[in-house]
Structures are given as C-alpha cells and as structure tokens.
C-alpha cells in the first residue's frame, strides 16, 4: 500500500517522422511539471526506423528526466535494410538501449516488459504481434521474482488479444500470454499499436485481464485525437485518465473493442470511439 498514489504516464505510437509536434510539446511540459514516477512508452517511436527518426526519438526521450521504459514496436526496426533488421535490429536506437524493455520497480508496483515484435514472422504481415515462448518465459520469470505483495503492470506494443482467423491474429500467442498473466493476477497490460485508447476487461480461462491501450501522439490518428494515458495507483485502485489537448472526457476517447489493425475504421462495425474523429483519408505510411 502506498501513502501517495503513484502517478504513471503511458504514452505510445509517437511515430517520429510523422509526430504531432504540438501534442508532444504539451506532453513534455506535463512530464516536466508533474514528474510522474515512471513513463511507459509502448512502442512505434518512429515511422520507418530511419536514422533521423530514431535520432529525434532519442533526443526527446532522453530529455524527460524521469524513469522511462520503452517497448519496441513494429515500426521501430529497420524496414528497408533487411540485413540490418536480421543481424542488428536494435542498432539504430543505441542511445536509448538501456531503456528498452527495462523493468521499473516502484513501491508496491512493478512495470514488467513483454516483447511482442520479431525480426521476421512465418507469415506475410510482419506488422502484427507475436509473443514467442522465450519472450513470455522472460516476462513470467520476472513476474514470479517480484516480492510478495507487489503488483505488476505488463508493457507490450501489440494488444494481446487474438482476433479473426489464425493467419490474421492481432498477436500470435496472445491468448496463451493473457491466460498466464491472468493466473498471476497482473493489474493490467499496457499496450499501443491501435492508436485509440481503451480500457477493457478481457476474459480468459484463468479469469479477466485488464487491457489498457494508449492512443497515439502522431498525426496517424484513427478515431480519436492525439492523447496519452495518466494512471493513478493508490495500492487498491488503478485509475486511467485519457489526457488530450481537446479536453475530451476519457469515455469519449476510449474504444469499446480492440480493432484488428492500426488503421482508421473503413468498414461497418469496426471499433470507433465516441469522439469519432475518423480522418477522411488514411494517414500516410511512407
């Protein structure tokens, strides 16, 4: 139990190269003023992992002056240079290497990473998530090693839900991972990738897991304006507030279901937040 609630900022999908500069300037000011105990950035720091994009991301992240942990997203490994992607996928973010998939231990609360990207996948679409047995094993070992009574938030890039058929699963191995996390009673799973915020209780055979998604801080908006999540943990309750420059209330910003991809809804029935700011054309991916 903590005396003062812990304050965490959960940011995601900044996509340097197509970042929203006003939103980023605002978030940076909020971090410097509020000094959260930790900032969790759940991946997609760049558009195409170009050197200048990673240089900008590194400058922004390392200037935050608070503990930061970052997850690697599908946009963060070399895209055009496959040799580098296979043999040195993390070379371009040398400047934030110490922050990559780093566990942060706070009083009574730990942030534990779980990797959901791979250098390659035995399917055509490498943008989707994949939890390997090894990655899950590392995460579970870290959870099992926490002191008794310490709660955990697990940080991933891709939401762990599997949707549709096996071939189009949002995250291969996600269901098994969610079951294992449910068994260990994690407080929640923090994710990015879909660019709209959500806060959903996902049922599993081992009980529900809270899945908390942060929106984007880029121009690649889906159905909500740029935002980040502010988390307050008082030792009993975890409160999630979706902060945005338009001051829309959190329920307006959250989608009620996780879409299969990080693209604006273009077909009937795709999840859209009540804010409904769907861009008329898909944001560019270049």
Question: Per DSSP, what are the bridge partners of residue 243?
Answer: 228
Which stretch, 80-88, 169-177, 191-199, 236-244, contacts Fe ion (CB under 5 A)?
Answer: 191-199
CA distance 104 to 96: 15
Among residues 27, 220, 211, the alpha carbon closest in space to that of 127 is found at: 220
Residue ranges of alpha helices (H) inside the chain are 21-34, 51-62, 82-87, 133-144, 174-183, 250-253
Question: In this structure, are residues 220 and 15 in contact, taking their beta carbons and an 8 Å threshold?
Answer: yes
Instruction: Name the residue nearer to Fe ion (CB basis): 13 or 20.
Output: 13
- Comparing every residue's Cβ against Fe ion, the nearest one is 44
By the rule CB under 5 A, 202 interacts with Fe ion: no
Question: With CB under 5 A, what is the number of residues at the site for Fe ion?
Answer: 6
Joined together, the tokens standing for residue 249 give 């209330």
Is residue 46 a contact point for Fe ion (CB under 5 A)?
Answer: no
CB of 195 to Fe ion, least distance (A): 6
By CB under 5 A, which span of 129-137, 205-213, 262-270, 273-281 interacts with Fe ion?
262-270
Q: Does 193 bind Fe ion (CB under 5 A)?
A: yes
The stretch among 22-30, 43-51, 57-65, 273-281 that binds Fe ion (CB under 5 A) is 43-51
Q: Does 159 bind Fe ion (CB under 5 A)?
A: no
Nearest residue (CB) to Fe ion, 37 versus 224: 224
Please, which residue, 13 or 162, has the CB nearer to Fe ion? 13
Helix extents (H) in 63-132: 82-87
Distance (Å, whole) CA 21 – CA 38: 22
201: CB partners within 8 A, 6+ apart: 208, 209, 210, 211
Residue whose entry in the numeric block shows the structure tokens 């959901």: 116
Question: Is 74 among the residues that bind Fe ion (CB under 5 A)?
Answer: yes
17 binds Fe ion (CB under 5 A): no
Stretch that binds Fe ion, among 29-37, 163-171, 192-200, 249-257 (CB under 5 A): 192-200
Which of 13, 53, 76, 199 contacts Fe ion by CB under 5 A? 13
Smallest distance, Fe ion to C-beta of residue 278, A:
16
The verdict on 73 binding Fe ion (CB under 5 A) reads: yes
| Helix 133-144 with 174-183: angle, nearest 10 deg | 10
Measured between alpha carbons, how far is 286 from 283 in angstroms, rounded to an integer?
A: 10
CB of 159 to Fe ion, least distance (A): 10
Burial (CB count within 10 angstroms: exposed 0-12, middle 13-18, buried 19+), residue 219: middle
- Of 11, 17, 31, 44, the residue at the interface with Fe ion (CB under 5 A) is 44
Q: Which stretch binds Fe ion (CB under 5 A): 53-61, 232-240, 261-269, 271-279?
A: 261-269
Contacts with Fe ion by CB under 5 A lie at: 13, 44, 73-74, 193, 262
């Amino acid at each position: 139990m903590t005396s003062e609630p812990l304050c965490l900022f959960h940011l995601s999908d900044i996509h340097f190269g197509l970042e929203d500069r006003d939103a980023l300037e605002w978030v940076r000011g909020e971090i410097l003023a509020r000094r959260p105990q930790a900032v969790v950035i759940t991946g997609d720091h760049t558009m195409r992992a170009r050197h200048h994009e990673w240089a900008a991301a590194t400058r922004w992240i390392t200037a935050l002056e608070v503990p930061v942990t970052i997850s690697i997203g599908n946009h963060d490994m070399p895209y055009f240079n496959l040799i580098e992607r296979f043999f040195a996928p993390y070379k371009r973010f040398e400047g934030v290497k110490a922050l990559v998939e780093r566990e942060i231990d706070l009083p009574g609360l730990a942030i534990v990473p779980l990797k959901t990207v791979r250098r390659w996948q035995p399917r055509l679409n490498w943008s989707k998530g994949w939890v390997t047995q090894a990655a899950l094993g590392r995460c579970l070992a870290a959870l099992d090693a926490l002191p008794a009574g310490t709660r955990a938030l697990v940080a991933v890039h891709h939401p762990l839900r599997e949707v549709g058929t096996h071939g189009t699963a949002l995250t291969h191995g996600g269901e098994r991972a969610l079951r294992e996390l449910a068994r260990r009673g994690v407080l929640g799973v923090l994710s990015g990738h879909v660019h709209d915020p959500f806060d959903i209780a996902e049922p599993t055979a081992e009980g529900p897991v809270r899945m908390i998604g942060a929106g984007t801080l880029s121009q690649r908006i889906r159905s909500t304006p740029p935002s980040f999540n502010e988390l307050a943990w008082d030792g009993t309750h975890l409160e999630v507030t979706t902060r945005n420059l338009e001051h829309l209330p959190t329920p307006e910003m959250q989608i009620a279901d996780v879409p299969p991809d990080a693209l604006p809804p273009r077909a009937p029935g795709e999840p859209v937040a009540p804010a409904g700011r769907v861009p008329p054309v898909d944001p560019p991916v270049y």
